[in-house]
Amino acid sequence: MRLTQGTFSFLPDFTDEDIRLQAQYAIDKGWAVSVEWTDDPHPRNTYWEMWGHPMFDNPDAAAVVYEVNECRKEHGGKYIRVIAFDASPGWESIRMSFIVNRPKEEPGFRLVRQEGEGRTVRYTIQSYSADRPEGARYA
Amino acid sequence: MTETADDPAPRPETVDLARAFEDSGTGDVLRELDEEMIGLAPVKSRIRETAALLLVDQARRQMGLATEMPTLHMSFTGNPGTGKTTVALKMASLLHRLGYVRKGHLVTVTRDDLVGQYIGHTAPKTKEVLKKAMGGVLFIDEAYYLYRPENERDYGQEAIEILLQVMENNRDDLVVILAGYADRMDRFFESNPGFRSRIAHHIEFPDYSDDELLRISEIMLGEQNYAFAPEARAAMAEYIAHRRHQPHFANARSIRNALDRARLRQANRLFSEARGPLGAEELSTITETDLRASRVFRGGLATDRARMAQAAE
């Protein structure tokens, strides 16, 4: 099951040139772009591991593509995303986030039902890959 | 989206080089270079040649005759104060107009910005600088300091390796200009053959002649709304002739420093001598006495030190 999180996730995978153009858009807007990776695909897993510092003062997006490729060398079999942080007052949050790298096999999620008091049923999802320990989740 | 087979841009049959020259704004940059920089004839002709080459190369790529990006890394060699940084700035804007770099900004660094203090510090530092320079021009001043043969554990080597790697793999993303004194740069290239082969354009900056320095001094004063009194101009010419043979002569930079000191003396003189209100004329004129007070006319730094040593004894 293809993970659909953030912007553009229903589109085919981006090429490096596509990544560069999107990142350049964010940079031109004055947002700080950074690269993050994780191997826990749960949608509520907000805080991914940072790959280096956010790039506050790089005027050109080639630097972002460079870092994405450096990150792929290390974490090629995991999820990698590019996020753009808007520091302007009144916003101070992520403006844009898109996945640029994903594992070959994405096993998807199982639905878990919990019987609560008075026959209440609580639903949650669990990633199949998260059964295995961190670092051993994807080939 | 990247170019695919289904959107073949129509290839032009002919190219108008003169038109491309004007449209890209290359002409403006070259004219600016001609007007703002005094002397430096060999440098200017080299830059004009380079611009022509790049323009033709661009046209060839439009017609599908060439696909490779040419190597644009350069080395600027010359004595201090010969305008290397200023020309690098112009070069960055030239490459930007021609579409060889996307942003056209200049990032100036020295060894300290690239090489770390301890193990594992150098690589991130160098990469940070390279990332900042992407889309523009990275200007490494006194590049030979990167390589310290006397210390085999020097971290400079690590910075050099990363630099070479990025210069090769990210050729479309940034242009590196190495700058420094001619003889030391030669030795640097000898011990790092990787650099020599990756640098296509070696540009030499000649020293300025006395006459050129005098013109430069007038322009520098003009920029700050000062002017020489007629006899002060002669004094300046004499000053330049003297200064050239004294230690630590740095071409235009020495001139700038001399003018700064002359302005200081002028301010002092006005303060101590002025009786009553001063006009714009007095406030912006450098006179002969402001220049003649310089120790350069008495033999320079060396004689001053000798006298002080004598006094100390």
The answer on pLDDT for B5 being more than 50 is no
* Closest by Cβ to A59, choosing from B105, B130, B170: B105
**Percentage of chain B exceeding pLDDT 70:** 92
Q: How many CB atoms lie within 10 A of CB A24?
A: 20
In a domain, A128, yes or no: no
Distance from CA of A56 to the nearest CA of B (A): 9
CA–CA gap between residue B29 and residue B41 (Å, rounded): 16
Contact between B27 and B51 (Cβ < 8 Å): no
Query: Which tokens in the block code for residue B263?
Result: 């302005």
Residue A54 structure tokens: 């956010």
Q: What is the CATH number of the domain that holds A97?
A: 3.30.190.10
Number of domains making up chain B: 2
Across the range B212-227, mean pLDDT stands at 90
Q: Identify the pLDDT of residue B123.
A: 92
By the 8 A CB rule, do A80 and A92 touch?
no
DSSP state string for B78-121: E-TTSSHHHHHHHHHHHHHHTTSSSS--EEEE-HHHHS-SSTTT
Give the distance from CA B223 to its chain's centroid.
Answer: 19
CA distance A83 to A54: 9
Is A17–B102 a contact, with Cβ atoms under 8 angstroms apart?
no
**Would you state the pLDDT for residue B125?**
92
Average pLDDT over residues B197-205: 88
Return the minimum-mean-pLDDT range out of B160-169, B191-200, B298-307.
Answer: B298-307
Q: Which residue from A15, A57, A67 is facing B2, i.e. has the nearest CB? A: A15
Question: Residue B307: which pLDDT band, with cuts at 50, 70 and 90?
Answer: low
- Would you call A58 and B170 a contact, using CB atoms and an 8 Å cutoff? no
Residue B237 lies in a domain: yes
Q: Is residue B23 located within the same domain as residue B62?
A: yes
Give the relative orientation of helices A62-75 and B122-133 as an angle to the nearest 10 degrees. 140
Question: What is the spatial distance between Cα A94 and Cα B56, in angstroms, rounded to a whole number?
Answer: 44
Co-location of B156 and B217 in the same domain = no
With respect to residue B11, please indicate whether it lies within any of the assigned structural domains.
Answer: no
Residues B259 and B129 placed together within one structural domain of the fold: no
Domain CATH for B117: 3.40.50.300
Residues B28 and B169 in one domain: yes
* φ, ψ of residue A79 in degrees (nearest 5): -85, 135
Give the SS3 label for residue B140.
strand
On whether residue A132 sits in a domain, the answer given is no
**A137 assigned to some structural domain:** no
Distant-in-sequence, close-in-space partners of B110: CB < 8 Å, separation ≥ 6 = B140, B141, B142, B145
Task: State yes or no: pLDDT of A102 exceeds 90.
Answer: yes
Nearest to A62 among B1, B2, B170 (CB): B170
Quote the pLDDT of residue B260: 92
Residue ranges making up the domain that contains A80: 16-106
In a domain, A117, yes or no: no
Identify which of B1, B105, B131 has the shortest CB distance to residue A66.
B131
- Which of A19, A60, A69, A70 to mutate to test binding with chain B, by most B CBs within 10 Å of its CB? A60
pLDDT at B4: 47
The pLDDT, as a whole number, for residue A22 is: 95
Q: What's the domain count of chain A?
A: 1
Q: Is A3 inside a domain boundary? A: no
User: Is A71 within the bounds of a domain?
Assistant: yes
Q: Please name every residue paired with B202 in a beta bridge, in sequence order, or none if there are none.
A: B75
Nearest CA in chain B to A54: B128
pLDDT digits (tens, 9 = 90+) for B252-282: 999 999 999 999 999 999 888 877 888 888 8
Give whichever of B114-118, B148-152, B194-198 has the largest mean pLDDT. Answer: B114-118
Q: Residue B262 falls within a domain, yes or no?
A: yes
Q: Are A49 and A38 in contact (CB under 8 A)?
A: yes
Region B182-205: mean pLDDT is 88
User: Is A22 near chain B, with CB under 8 Å?
Assistant: no
* pLDDT at residue B71, as a whole number: 84
Closest to A60 (Cβ–Cβ): which among B1, B124, B136?
A: B136
Q: Domain with B281 in it: what CATH number?
A: 1.10.8.60
Pairing of strands A93-101, A121-127: unpaired
CA distances from B13 to B98, B182, B195 (A): 20, 44, 38
Find, among A105, A102, A138, the residue nearest to A4 by Cα. Answer: A102
Do B195 and B234 lie in one domain? The reply is: no
Does B135 contact A59 at a Cβ distance shorter than 8 Å? yes
Q: DSSP 3-state assignment of B61?
A: helix
Neighbours of B26 (CB within 10 A): 20
Give the distance from residue B9's alpha carbon to the nearest chain A alpha carbon, in angstroms: 18
Interface predicted TM-score (ipTM) of this complex, two decimals = 0.79
| B55 plus B158 within the same structural domain | yes
User: Residue B7's pLDDT is what?
Assistant: 52
Q: How far is CA A65 from CA A21, A100, B124, B213, in A?
A: 10, 10, 16, 46
Mutation target vs B (from A66, A69, A70; most B CBs, 10 A cutoff): A66
Q: pTM of this prediction?
A: 0.81
B277 and B236 within one domain: yes
Confidence of residue B304 (pLDDT cuts 50, 70, 90): low
Residues of B whose CB is below 8 A from A62:
102, 134-135, 170, 172-174
Tell whether the model's pLDDT for residue B84 goes beyond 70: yes
pLDDT average, residue stretch B277-288? 87
Q: What percent of chain A has pLDDT over 90?
A: 81
Q: Is A68 exposed, middle or buried (0-12, 13-18, 19+ CB in 10 A)?
A: buried
**Domain co-membership, B225 together with B184:** no
Query: B56-70, B137-151, B234-248: which has the minimum mean pLDDT?
Result: B56-70
Query: Token pair of B266, please?
Result: 């002028």
Mean pLDDT of B203-225: 91
What span, in angstroms and rounded, lies between the C-alpha atoms of B239 and B296? 7
pLDDT value of residue B301: 67
Among A24, A53, A58, pick the best mutation site for testing chain B contact (most B Cβ within 10 A): A58
Task: Examine the fold and report which residue of B143, B177, B205 is the final residue of a domain before the chain moves on.
Answer: B205
pLDDT at B176: 94
Residue A31 has pLDDT above 90, yes or no: yes
Q: pLDDT per residue over A48-61, tens digit each?
A: 999 988 998 889 99
Q: Do B1 and A18 touch (CB under 8 A)?
A: yes
Residues B88, B187: one domain? Answer: yes
Q: Is the pLDDT of residue B305 over 70?
A: no
pLDDT, mean of residues A115-122: 93
Asked whether residue A49 is domain-assigned, the answer is yes
pLDDT tens for each residue of B17-67: 777 777 778 888 888 888 888 888 889 998 888 888 888 888 888 888 877
Q: What is the pLDDT, as a whole number, of residue B3?
A: 46
Please check whether residue B106 lies inside any domain of the structure.
Answer: yes
Chain B stretch 102-121, residues whose beta carbon is closer than 8 A to a beta carbon of chain A: 102-103, 105
B259, part of any domain: yes
Q: Residue B147 is which amino acid?
A: Y
Inform me whether the pLDDT recorded for B1 exceeds 60.
no
Domain that holds residue B250: 210-312
